[in-house]
A = this chain, B = another copy of it.
């Protein structure tokens, strides 16, 4: 019996044979990502029931020298969860919400809990778990933590990192680190949980977490503003932040082309403003204070911005249904873009003050590179995070356009880098941007990353080849 067979036998004995998948049709769903940029391969998929079984599997893999890739809902977009051989460790069976503490305002969850179910458990206790993104119905919280996920509520509540109080982690040698604490202040030694948040399973496997909860908003108002330009959108953001403070819970911006795509492709959507504008902002104002009147607050803030010439026109929702209708304009954009044709995507951030310059410079450079190309740059403007997406020219062959992915990455990322921005703002590095880190990363920082990897996973068992670029690495992981 070869090493792999012995490993699989040991896993079958401990987890039960039906939780060790080897048939190609069973393994297939774990090999690919929704965007289809990478196709992986794996010896098997193990579906452990609890932390002890994960620890067992990691110990067994470490002993056999077989790599382990942890996978949650497999909703990542950068190849971070795609196996390059070895064992896929699915966290799906560790899906319980263990406890909600309404006094401490915390929730304790297993890594495989579905994000929407974590949100629902918080809501059932009268509280809010603010982390939220499009894949919330299938994304699992462990993946959100492992990738330091962002989403639509970062402005007021932070990234996943900011919501984590404690973690339980299986290390590369199969030991379990129990950092499952629920303290708001703890300086008893290095803050070890920070290592694992955002490291995409390359330093340890998150198996459970204690997360922060917040009061639920009693009143929420969404508005949609038409502005002359991204520069005015930045002015409006600065005005709202100063005026509404943390009642400003979302500030998303989309271009006219993006709104056109939504109105064209998303059934039932209606143009929210009569005229045409150079940029559109979706604004959400929310509060849990009983005396808060978020509609009056939103209307007053926008009236001031109009009086100052910042806003050209605005629509303020008057009901929860209207709130949802305005949000739908923003949330339908990725799908509408897909229906319009192929897209080359960038998930980037720049310092807020440079957003208008970045948008102008990057759009001009891309349009000059390929006539007919349509720039659809939208996203979490208030976080400085833009999904700088490029829609193919009309009539161009999909494959021919996507073959230019690397060329446009170079153009856009060069501009981002020159502006002190990040080429991986909220979706992570995975395989997709690993080699870009080698290009743009500071050599000292890359050396620190390699030292951390060597210190915590000296034999390279955990998600090898992801995130951390090797010096002089020749990539075989280019986008297919």
Contact = CB atoms under 8 A, between A and B. Distances in A.
Interface stretch (A37-45, A260-268, A449-457): A449-457
A232 interface: no
A308 interface: no
Given A103-B238, A148-B191, A442-B177, A185 B289 contact: no
Given A162-B162, A194-B194, A467-B190, A352 B234 contact: no
A244 B425 CA distance: 32
Interface in A207-265: 214-215, 234, 238, 241-247
Give this chain's copy count. Answer: 2
Contacts of A197: 191
Given A192-B448, A247-B289, A289-B243, A185 B238 contact: no
Contact of A183 (B178, B349, B452): B349
B247 A428 contact: no
A214 to B, nearest CB: 8
A380 B184 CA distance: 10
A420 B181 contact: yes
Interface string A86-99: 00000000000000
A435 interface: no
Contacts of A385: 184-185
A467 B215 contact: no
A275 interface: no
A433 interface: yes
Contact of A182 (B383, B420, B442): B420
A476 interface: no
A33 interface: no
A425 to B, nearest CB: 4
Given A103-B234, A171-B444, A184 B349 contact: yes
Nearest to A300: B291
A437 to B, nearest CB: 5
Given A103-B234, A288-B245, A349 B186 contact: yes
B175 A444 contact: yes
A186 B106 CA distance: 25
Nearest to A427: B187
23 contacts: A101-B351, A104-B351, A104-B384, A148-B187, A150-B185, A171-B444, A177-B448, A184-B384, A185-B425, A187-B425, A187-B426, A188-B424, A188-B433, A188-B440, A189-B467, A190-B452, A195-B195, A214-B245, A244-B289, A245-B246, A245-B289, A246-B246, A289-B297
Interface of A: 101-106, 126, 147-148, 150, 154, 159, 161-162, 171, 175-179, 181-192, 194-195, 197-199, 203, 214-215, 234, 238, 241-247, 287-291, 296-297, 300, 349-353, 380, 383-385, 420-429, 433, 437, 440-442, 444-446, 448-449, 451-452, 454-456, 467-468
Given A101-B351, A104-B352, 10 more contacts: A103-B352, A185-B349, A185-B385, A185-B426, A186-B349, A187-B425, A188-B423, A188-B441, A215-B241, A247-B289
What are the 7 tightest A-B residue pairs by CB atom distance, in nearest-first order?
A194-B194, A455-B455, A186-B422, A103-B353, A188-B424, A185-B425, A104-B352
